[in-house]
Amino acid sequence: MIINVKQIPLEGEPLRGEDPPAILELANDDISFERPVEYDLFAQVQGHGLLVTGKLLTSATLRCSRCLQVFQQAVAVGHIILELPQRALCQPTCKGLCPVCGKDLNEAACGCTVSRADMRWQALNQLKLK
């Protein structure tokens, strides 16, 4: 959306409508927007700045941080970037992928044996000290 500040009256102006999802400029391998971004805003010139308040509504396509499945999440916020999760989860109980074979553990158990040892210390455990 492009706002022409010179055309906004002193009392402010309501802005309602929708823009294509590309306006968000946030698309990458893990986040995309395919539905239009609906907006209900109020724009007002304040001094040398522009104050815009209101809500945005769209749907984000996210990739789960644990199992890598793609899922949809509704987004209705005043600041869309802060609303997106840092680590997206398709569901709070997502079991993720097996670290050995890569199977999606939400679908079924794989039978792999996963070591619970802290691998960060493995190189030190192999040292032979006299």
Q: Is 111 contained in some domain?
A: yes
64 in Cβ contact with 94 (< 8 Å): yes
The number of domains in the chain is 1
Structural domain contains residue 65: yes
Cβ contacts of residue 62 below 8 Å, gap of 6+?
Answer: 30, 31, 70, 71, 72, 73, 84, 85, 88, 90
130 in a structural domain = no
> pLDDT tens track of the chain, all 130 residues?
777 888 889 899 999 999 988 877 776 778 888 889 899 999 888 887 788 888 989 998 999 988 999 999 988 877 755 555 667 888 999 999 988 888 999 999 988 887 777 777 778 878 888 7
Instruction: Give the residues across from 110 on adjacent strands.
Output: none
User: Is residue 33 assigned to a domain?
Assistant: yes
Answer yes or no: is 97 within a domain: yes
The parent domain of residue 72 ranges over 5-125
